[in-house]
Amino acid sequence: MMRDQGYLSDEILVKEARDGSEAHFNALVDRYIGLVYRVAFSVTGSAHEAEDVVQETFLRVFRNLDGFDPSKAAFKTWLLAIARNQSINVLAHLKRKAARFLTRTQAAEDRDNAEEENFPHEMPDAETTLLSKERTQLVQQALAKLPEKQRTALMLKAVEGLSYAEIAEILHTSASAVESLIYRARSKILEEVEQ
Amino acid sequence: MNCEHYRKQLSRQVDIDLDRALTEELEKHLAACPECRSFRDGVKALNREFHTVGRTQPPVGLAERVKERVDRQRRRDRVLLPAWTRVPLVAMITLAAVGLGNLAGRSISSMLIPDRSEDAVEYTLVTQAPSFADLLTDNGSEENGQ
Ligand SMILES: [Zn+2]
């Protein structure tokens, strides 16, 4: 099924996928599933929800490939903008659910904190060998407390190595706004971790 | 200049100007300001941590499930979509045929229902694809395809 599409550029894969090639679409899935999953996980804070977001995102990409305009955006930023948008919808839903749950009973609060699938973050499959587990946990908790936009901007920069310009496209903002989102994210995390 | 000004520069330097030497002004400030030095070291440490911790991999089998689901959608499109696009297609073919005066000697049905109509039909469909902006403002209300 999948042959050697791995070396082809995004542009070519998209073009062939548009023309109906299943193999080329699948190569795009293979290329970007990790990135989409991490964005979804970073935004929603839930491994389970991230899986759903990944499914929905690629389905949406498939349905809308013909509406994608390569002259306006790179495929990668277009894809990640869709993934983030899907993730934000899920996050809003999770928050509403949590809010309803909290108003129902006061006693639920502690339980909710303990059980909440959403936050605090815990990265699955984390390699914690080089770091103290405790510090890693502090960083993740601080990360989870950040506003979504700051968290996503920082993640796309520090983990994925995207440029400010690419991140700006995904977040619908300017490169200088991205720079300050990332700066504020770092400041807050360091404040929390090092106090 | 206040510390925030320098820390913004440091944050940026870690991201994009790694190879470039710090400005003299920033160097001077760092030499004199332990808080900003600690910020710089903290940002570098955070970046190392993100590199180690952040590269979470998707669960095994997820890629296959995504491909299968997209493939189900692809098959469904092939079955469902031609029904409502057949009219313009038929009209086009008929016009072309009439225009060429090429009807003689061939069965009309063989021209109207070509074997490979599915592929052709799929391309005529997607004139209503949403724009980039539509996609992003869409709240996911479209049918799930499941
Ligand atoms: Zn300072």
* Residues shown for chain A: 195
Give me the pLDDT at residue B144, please: 36
- Packing angle, helices A75-104 and A148-158, rounded to 10: 140
| Chain B neighbors of A60, CB-CB under 8 A | 135
Q: pLDDT tens, A133-157? A: 788 888 889 999 999 999 999 999 9
Does residue B16 surpass a pLDDT of 80?
Answer: no
CB contact under 8 A, B119 and A30: no
pLDDT averaged over chain A? Answer: 86
To which H or E segment does residue A185 belong? helix A175-194
Q: Which of A25, A59, A180 sits opposite B145 (nearest CB)?
A: A59
Question: Please, is A85 exposed, middle or buried when counting C-beta atoms within 10 Å of its C-beta (0-12, 13-18, 19+)?
Answer: buried
- Distance separating alpha carbons of residues A112 and A98, to the nearest angstrom: 8
Q: What is the least distance, in Å, from the CA of A167 to any CA of chain B?
A: 13
Confidence of residue A54 (pLDDT cuts 50, 70, 90): very high
Supply the CATH classification number for the domain A1-104. Answer: 1.10.1740.10
Q: What residues 79-108 of chain B have any CB closer than 8 A to a CB of chain A?
A: none
The chain B residue lying nearest A63, using CA atoms, is B129
- Distance separating alpha carbons of residues A42 and A26, to the nearest angstrom: 24
Domain segments of chain A as ranges? 1-104, 124-195
Give me the pLDDT at residue B123, please: 37
- Distance separating alpha carbons of residues A166 and A74, to the nearest angstrom: 9
The residue-averaged pLDDT of B84-99 equals: 61
Asked if the bond preceding A120 is cis, omega within 30° of 0, the reply is: yes
Q: Which residues contact residue B112 at a Cβ distance below 8 angstroms, ignoring those fewer than 6 apart?
A: B90, B93, B94
Domain segments of chain B as ranges? 3-53, 98-140
Task: Please give the sequence-ordered ranges of beta strands (E in DSSP) within B59-103, or none if there are none.
Answer: none
Span from the CA of B37 to the centroid of ligand 1 (angstroms):
7
The answer to whether residue B136 neighbours chain A at the CB level (below 8 Å) is: yes
The chain B residue lying nearest A48, using CA atoms, is B59
Question: Taking the mean position of all CA atoms in its chain, how far away is CA B18?
Answer: 30
The answer to whether residue B34 neighbours chain A at the CB level (below 8 Å) is: no
CB contact under 8 A, B132 and A69: yes
Q: Which residues contact residue A48 at a Cβ distance below 8 angstroms, ignoring those fewer than 6 apart?
A: A117
The chain A residue lying nearest B137, using CA atoms, is A85
Same fold across A1-104 and A124-195: no
Placement of tokens 């599933």 in the chain: A33
Q: Which amino acid is at B56?
A: T
Give me the pLDDT at residue A26, please: 97
**Overall pTM > 0.90:** no
Tokens of A111: 């339980």
| CATH of A124-195 among 3.30.70.380, 1.20.1050.10, 1.20.140.10, 1.10.10.10 | 1.10.10.10
- Distance separating alpha carbons of residues A96 and A51, to the nearest angstrom: 20
The answer to whether residue B16 neighbours chain A at the CB level (below 8 Å) is: yes
The residue-averaged pLDDT of A41-58 equals: 95
- Distance separating alpha carbons of residues A11 and A18, to the nearest angstrom: 11
- DSSP-assigned letter for residue A160: T
Placement of tokens 């099924």 in the chain: A1
CB contact under 8 A, B66 and A29: yes
Q: pLDDT tens, B40-90? A: 999 999 988 887 666 789 999 999 999 999 999 999 888 876 555 555 555
Span from the CA of A167 to the centroid of ligand 1 (angstroms):
28
The answer to whether residue A176 neighbours chain B at the CB level (below 8 Å) is: no
| Chain A neighbors of B62, CB-CB under 8 A | 33, 37, 51, 54
